[in-house]
Amino acid sequence: MNMGCSHISPRNLQLVSFFFLLYNLHVFSQSNNSAIRHGEVIRDGEIIVSPGQDFALGFFSPVNSSLRYVGIWYYRIPGQTVTWVANRDAPLSGNFGVFGIQNNGSLSLSDGDGTIYWSSDSFPLAGNLTAMLVDTGNFILATAENAGDDQNALWQSCEHPTDTYLPNMRIYMNLTRGDSVSFVSWRTSNDPSGGNYSMEIDPRGSPQIISWDESRRRIWRSGQWNQQIFTGMPQMRSVFLAGFRLVQADDDDDVMYFIFNNPNRTRLMRFMINWDGEIEQLTWDDGRLEWVVILTLPSTPCQEYNRCGSYGICNSRNAPSLCSCMQGFELNSNNQCIRRTPLECGSNSSRNDGFQPINGVKLPDIATNTLSADNQGECEDVCSNNCSCNAYAFISGIGCLTWGGDLNDIEEFEQGGETIFIRLADSELGGGKVSMTAVIAISVTGAIVFGLIVWLIWRYKRNIKEIWNLWKQKKNLSQLFQGPYSLDISAGATGPVDLSVEGKTFEGRLFSLISLESATDDFANKNKLGEGGFGPVHKGILPGGQEIAVKRLSKWSGQGLMEFKNEMILIAKLQHRNLVRLLGYCIEGEENMLVYEYLQNKSLDTFLFDEKKKVHLDWKTRFLIIQGIARGLLYLHRDSRLRIIHRDLKASNILLDKEMNPKISDFGMARIFGGNQNEANTARIVGTYGYMSPEYAMEGFFSVKSDVYSFGVLLLEIISGQRNTSFRSHDSTNLIKHAWSLWKDVKPEELIDPSILDLCNKKEALQCIHIGMLCVQFSAVHRPTMSSVVYMLESESASLPLPTQGEDMSLNSAEMDLIMKGREITVSSNDVTFTEVIGR
């Protein structure tokens, strides 16, 4: 019976905790190490404990059973949550078990009579061996010099799992053989023997997770992996599932492995296939003293494998019927979806087959990955030229997928999903032979249209100049991204690059100089919104009434064509509610302009640092702004196609819409990491005094943790209503040093802006200060990632680590000048960005 803490009296709870502590002390006194060495054994009643005391290995009996098993369980939480079992199908019936390393180099479990109940592979030539339990819950057999090293293990429990997957456990799969390890459920909740259900990775086409019953009938599948999520699980973008990665094994090109890095290491998490076939993701709740299920699969009827049969589409919004046939198919007498019109591929008919797109769906099962196709057009050609091909899809992160058999297990999502192209007969696509009447009608219509075009050209000849200028812009645009400024990324390129240009295609609208001059009253001063390092920004109104903000590159700007192109391409490729939206651009003559959505409330600093306007920023508004900025940065760092470092995050680069929603702007200094790079070094320092991280300002090293530092500074500015660089007190030269002083003196509440102190949610404000201090730690290693920051901001019960001040935490402008001598730097002073070279 599961008893939560609400059913136990305080006195009884103290007794339970006391006896649990005594038990742990008793066990620890029996075994104070984490390894079994060659020739050593542990007997029933003894355990070994991992170095951090996270896991224990020893003998156990399930509830209501006297049978004995060797297993691994969590050491520091009440109860006995078992994660791995050695002899699951060969239990001992008495307390005489012995577990250790045999002379032949194998791990083995025997009874008092020497009967072997379970053994691992043997390694007779490996020499002196050690079996070590590590803090990931993995039990590793290796030579003594490699003890605990999973990279050089001879045998390890994670390669022979039972029913549980733990963070940092590697799930290996062989691409050539098409197999991987299986997780097999317990027989019942109290019987660890192999049960009726299993879960494994199917690497065919693109890897996906599959669960089976005992007859190898599919129950559920995740959809194909696209290097970010499993495509059949749009909910993976939540913080709880965002840590999966697919990695190439170092020593074998045919072998890859999945690994899950828990984004919140303070919270225990595990995945398991339950004895009833459900896959669960669970996390330990310290307050309730129990495991909490946060995800169950399958959890809806449409997640059940092939619920609607071949060529059927399941949609939970269509309840109670759920199922429908895809276009070109209909139900037969057996209630199955079949083609209405046979395909003509391979026949002598003049009619051709075509493809119909279906958007927002879970891709069908059992696909073939066609590596020879590099784009959607080539992928379509591959499928068109193969009469057995029934559908294709070109997916970012996967490439070209084709399907040769029936299309099974398709679900339509309300949000997310992929686009698949289904092969259909031409008549199902609206094709067919054109009649003579249609030919005559088309000819007459063409003559009328041609005459109309000639008349329109004569009638609106005065607008031809504008059309001609737009054409020239396209030519200028092509030339702008060639020559020494070309920023294409070749295949296999690694390291940071300024922007990623796919096929030199650009999103957005081309504006003529005439139209922007008209919209802004010839860039009149009355429409000027502000001026930064790029140049002036003017408000404009298009003929349809749409308000815009025009950012005009100044001839004297410290930012040049490189930054202009960087911002132009980068923002056009990004789509997020907390990033400013680029509408278009103008490149005409010497003019280079970017056109953005107009945000009525301008930038955050105009409110935050103005004593009269800051009254509009109550605590609720400030907290929502903090959360929005964090989510925007998380998108840049993790959820966009590549990892993007902003490098100039500050209050003046946070714009506010009419509802005070924040939008990150000014991407001229941003950098994109390509390949597997996590950090880079540069001699050209860009950013703003007071917001630069120490390692970036002093050594030129930047990474996602550089943005985290800038976010921490901005967070503390939002809470205090004080600008970091202009803050002065009797004991501090800037806001960050003042914050550390208050933190050290346990007075963080004094940092809160007096204008909101009485009415704010002090618990939230203090939690934000705590998060801010974690972000501005001197060491980049100690700072959290933005995924952890978002989780901490959105969780009321998150356990936050204590920040460490380390060295001097923040640099003022005088200190920065001393450090920067001899470096080329681009820095911002408040809102104005400029470039300079400081001599030696």
What is the C-alpha to C-alpha distance for residues 271 and 241, in angstroms, rounded to an integer?
11
Least confident of 66-70, 155-159, 373-377, 676-680: 676-680
The predicted structure's pLDDT at residue 190: 95
Range 691-700 contact pairs with CB under 8 angstroms and sequence separation of 24 or more: 691/648, 691/649, 691/650, 691/724, 692/811, 692/816, 693/780, 694/778, 694/807, 694/808, 694/809, 694/810, 694/811, 695/780, 697/811, 697/816, 697/819, 697/820, 698/811, 698/819, 700/823
Asked whether residue 461 carries a pLDDT value surpassing 90, the answer given is: no
Q: In degrees, to the nearest 5, what angle opens at C-alpha 143 toward C-alphas 139 and 147?
A: 50
Identical fold, 22-160 and 162-299: yes
Asked whether residue 348 carries a pLDDT value surpassing 60, the answer given is: no
Spatial contact of 666 and 727, defined as CB atoms under 8 Å apart: no
Report DSSP letters for 40-74, one per residue.
Answer: -EEETT-EEE-TTSSEEEEEE--TT---BEEEEEE
Burial label, 558 (beta-carbon count in 10 A; 0-12, 13-18, 19+): buried
**Per-residue pLDDT reduced to its tens digit, 295-333:** 899 989 999 999 999 999 999 888 788 999 999 999 998
Give the tokens for residue 320. 């109670």
pLDDT > 90 fraction of the chain, expressed in percent and rounded: 49
Spatial contact of 391 and 383, defined as CB atoms under 8 Å apart: yes
What is the C-alpha to C-alpha distance for residues 693 and 691, in angstroms, rounded to an integer?
7
**β-pairing, 684-688 with 824-829?**
parallel
The predicted structure's pLDDT at residue 301: 92
CATH value of 162-299 in 1.10.287, 2.40.10, 2.90.10, 1.10.3470: 2.90.10
The predicted structure's pLDDT at residue 769: 96
Q: Which residues of 150-173 are buried (b: 16+ CB within 10 A; e: fewer)?
A: beebbbbbbeebbbbbbbbbbbbb
Least confident of 491-495, 662-666, 818-822: 491-495
Domain 22-160 sits in CATH at 2.90.10.10
- Strands (E) across 390-491 are located at 391-395, 399-403, 410-411, 418-424
Amino acid (one-letter) located at 160: H
The predicted structure's pLDDT at residue 185: 97
Report DSSP letters for 195-228, one per residue.
Answer: EEEEEEEE-SSS-EEEEE-TT--EEEE---B-SS
Q: Which conformational region is residue 767 in: left (phi greater than 0), alpha (psi within -120 to 50 degrees), or beta?
A: alpha
- Higher pLDDT among residues 657 and 470, named by residue: 657
**Per-residue pLDDT reduced to its tens digit, 564-593:** 777 776 766 778 899 998 888 888 877 888
Average pLDDT over all residues of the chain: 82
**Per-residue pLDDT reduced to its tens digit, 404-417:** 999 999 999 988 89
Spatial contact of 650 and 832, defined as CB atoms under 8 Å apart: no
**Per-residue pLDDT reduced to its tens digit, 248-286:** 776 666 788 888 888 777 789 999 999 999 999 999 988
**Per-residue pLDDT reduced to its tens digit, 790-832:** 999 988 877 889 998 765 444 444 444 444 443 444 444 444 3
Amino acid (one-letter) located at 316: S
Given pLDDT bands bounded at 50, 70 and 90, which one contains residue 86?
very high
Amino acid (one-letter) located at 321: S
**Per-residue pLDDT reduced to its tens digit, 20-37:** 444 444 443 344 489 999
Q: Which CATH architecture has domain 483-597?
A: 2-Layer Sandwich (3.30)
Fold of 604-837: Transferase(Phosphotransferase); domain 1 (1.10.510)
Q: In degrees, to the nearest 5, what angle opens at C-alpha 289 toward C-alphas 284 and 294?
A: 35
Residue numbers annotated as active site: 648
**Per-residue pLDDT reduced to its tens digit, 110-153:** 998 889 999 999 998 888 999 999 999 999 999 999 998 988 89
Query: Which candidate, 693, 646, 692, places its Cα nearest to that of 669?
Result: 646
**Per-residue pLDDT reduced to its tens digit, 146-200:** 998 988 899 999 999 999 999 989 888 887 787 888 999 999 999 999 999 999 9
The predicted structure's pLDDT at residue 476: 53
**Could you state, in order of their start, the residue ranges of all structural domains in the chain?**
22-160, 162-299, 303-427, 483-597, 604-837
Asked whether residue 833 carries a pLDDT value surpassing 50, the answer given is: no
What is the C-alpha to C-alpha distance for residues 642 and 645, in angstroms, rounded to an integer?
10
> Which residues have a Cβ under 8 Å from the Cβ of 664 and sit 6 or more positions away?
578, 579, 580, 629, 632, 633, 636, 646, 649, 653, 654
What is the gyration radius of the CA atoms in the chain, in angstroms?
32
Burial label, 490 (beta-carbon count in 10 A; 0-12, 13-18, 19+): exposed
Given pLDDT bands bounded at 50, 70 and 90, which one contains residue 462?
low
CA 140 to the chain's CA centroid: 30
Given pLDDT bands bounded at 50, 70 and 90, which one contains residue 443?
confident
